[in-house]
Amino acid sequence: MSTARANRMTPYLFLAPAGIVLAVALFYPICYMIYASFLDWNPSQRIGEADFIGLRNYTKLFSDAAFRESMWVTIKFSMVVVTIEMILGVGLALLLDRNIRGMSVLRTLFILPMMIAPIVVGLMWRYMYHPTVGIFNRTLTDWGFDPIPWLADGDWAFASVVIADVWQWTPFIFILSLAALQSLPASAIEASKIDGATGWQQIIYIKLPLMLPVLIVTLLLRLIDSFKVLEVILVMTNGGPGLSTEILSLRINRTASEFRELGEAAAMSNLLLIVLLILTFTMFIYNKAQDARMARLRKVEEEV
């Protein structure tokens, strides 16, 4: 009897360390943040001294025009960068999916931007966008064009941070797409060749549909990441001019350190977390659906 019970307990015993780590490293900070979002908490106070104010931080956020603006900027930024990066990344992968000499060197070169620390990327682009001594405006004036107010005008500043982000993160999509392309079944592509498909037809009817599961996951990963981008924009524009590039994570950072409203910052972080959770669940459900579909197809095949 007791042996049977010990046997039943064994798996839980082995799971316990992981469970404890999860509780300490993940659930505790998240619960702490959720609790903090109900407090009027100033960094000069200890958490115990802060007043409990219920949902006031949340109601304040929804009536705060600056927060809504920053939410909108974040969504706009994510949509724009992810769309551009997907098109460029997949396009590059399709172009480079062939046996070229020195391919491995090229591949390493392509992913270099991803390896640079975000702060450095921000500084680098900030100097390149510099109104007078930056490379872009110097080149433009040398060629006889008017200089562009890269970071000095709201719309241009938004475009500038988009360009920097695209520069840094397109390689991520490129490298994953390339891996997906190279693992496609050669038989399907050969079959399409025999059937006389042109290059475009191969891409549209064979390669892209087969790559789709990988592409969807890549897209969601990038989307989640782009919602949290901070350092590059912090260094380049610090959210300006006006609020034109003030993405949510920057707003959270400012709320905590500059406005000294830890409760409000926690509430914002929770909202961001909810948005990201929705995205992650979408990814999870999509994967499940894909697996189920594959299983069904396989079953049908077996039955035939």
Partner 1 sequence: MKVTKTKVWSAAIAVSLTYTAAYADGHTADVYAPYEGTTLVVNFPAHPHYNAVLEVLPEFTEQTGIEVEVDQLQYLRMRERQTLELTKDEGDYDLIAYVVFSKADYVFADQLENLAKYFMNPRLADPNYDAADLIDGYVANIGVAGGEKGYLPGQTGSLFGIPFGAETSVLAYRKDIFEKHGIEVPTNYDQLLEVACQIPELEPGMGGMASRAASGHQASHAFLLHLAPLGGRVFDAEWNPIINSPEGVAAANALKTIVDCGPEGGTTFGPAEAAAAFQQGQAAMFMDSIAFAAGFEDPTRSTVVGNVGYAMHPEGVRRGSQTGGFGIGIPSNAQNKEAAFLLMQWLTSKEQDLAIAMAGGNPSRFSTYQNAALNEKYPYSATFGEALQYADPDWRPIIPTWGTINADIGTTMSQVLTEGLDPQEALDGVAERARAIMEEAGYYTWQ
Question: Which residues partner with 51 through β-bridges?
Answer: 40
CA distances from 218 to 169, 277, 280 (A): 11, 16, 12
User: Among candidates 303, 156, 121, which has minimal Cα distance to 230?
Assistant: 121
Of 14, 18, 25, 46, the one binding partner 1 by CB under 8 A: 46
CA quadruple 239, 224, 75, 119: dihedral, nearest 10: 20
43 lines the binding site for partner 1 (CB under 8 A): yes
154 lines the binding site for partner 1 (CB under 8 A): yes
CA distance 244 to 59: 23
Of 52, 72, 259, 284, the one binding partner 1 by CB under 8 A: 259
Q: One symbol per residue from 113 to 152: x for binding partner 1 (CB under 8 A), - otherwise; what is it?
A: -----------------xxx--------------x-x-xx
CA distance 259 to 131: 30
257 lines the binding site for partner 1 (CB under 8 A): yes
Restricted to residues 186-215, the positions that interact with partner 1 (CB under 8 A) are none
Of 86, 93, 243, 267, the one binding partner 1 by CB under 8 A: 243
- Shortest Cβ distance from residue 128 to partner 1 (Å)? 13
Query: Which of 224-242 are b and which e, b meaning 16 or more Cβ less than 10 Å from the residue's Cβ?
Result: bbbbebebbbbbbbebebe
- Shortest Cβ distance from residue 150 to partner 1 (Å)? 8
241 lines the binding site for partner 1 (CB under 8 A): yes
Binding residues for partner 1, per CB under 8 A?
42-46, 66, 130-132, 147, 149, 151-154, 237-243, 246, 254, 257-261
